């Protein structure tokens, strides 16, 4: 575990995207997992779609609008950073 690798900048977007994929809830607050949402979002990420999505922080105080293309660049950069340090 690298202590210098923290949730800032691009890494924060990656965390919010993970929450967007896997931490969905119903109107009543029940956990909800929609496989079609996950697969569709990952396909758009992989292709670098210009489509934009809203990423909301867990405390619901921050909303970031970002494209899948921007997220892909974040993932690629984080992966390169992690692999180059080993």
Condensed to tens digits (0 to 9), the pLDDT of residues 13-41 reads 999 999 999 998 889 989 999 999 999 99
Which domains are assigned to the chain? Answer: 10-85 (1.10.287.3700)
Give CA 33 to chain center in angstroms. Answer: 16
CB 31 within 8 Å of CB 25: yes
What pLDDT, on the 0 to 100 scale, is given for residue 9? 79
Between helix 68-84 and helix 10-22 the angle, nearest 10°, is 120
CA separation for the pair 83, 86 (Å, rounded)? 6
Query: pTM of this prediction?
Result: 0.84
CA distance 58 to 46: 25
- For residue 70, CA distances in Å to 16, 20, 40 come to 13, 15, 17
């Amino acid at each position: 575990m690298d202590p210098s690798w923290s949730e800032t900048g691009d890494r924060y977007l990656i965390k919010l995207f993970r929450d967007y994929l896997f931490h969905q809830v119903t109107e009543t607050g029940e956990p909800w997992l929609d496989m079609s949402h996950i697969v569709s979002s990952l396909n758009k990420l992989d292709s670098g779609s210009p489509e934009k999505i809203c990423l909301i922080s867990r405390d619901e105080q921050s909303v970031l609008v970002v494209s899948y293309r921007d997220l892909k660049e974040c993932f690629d950069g984080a992966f390169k950073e992690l692999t180059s340090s080993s």
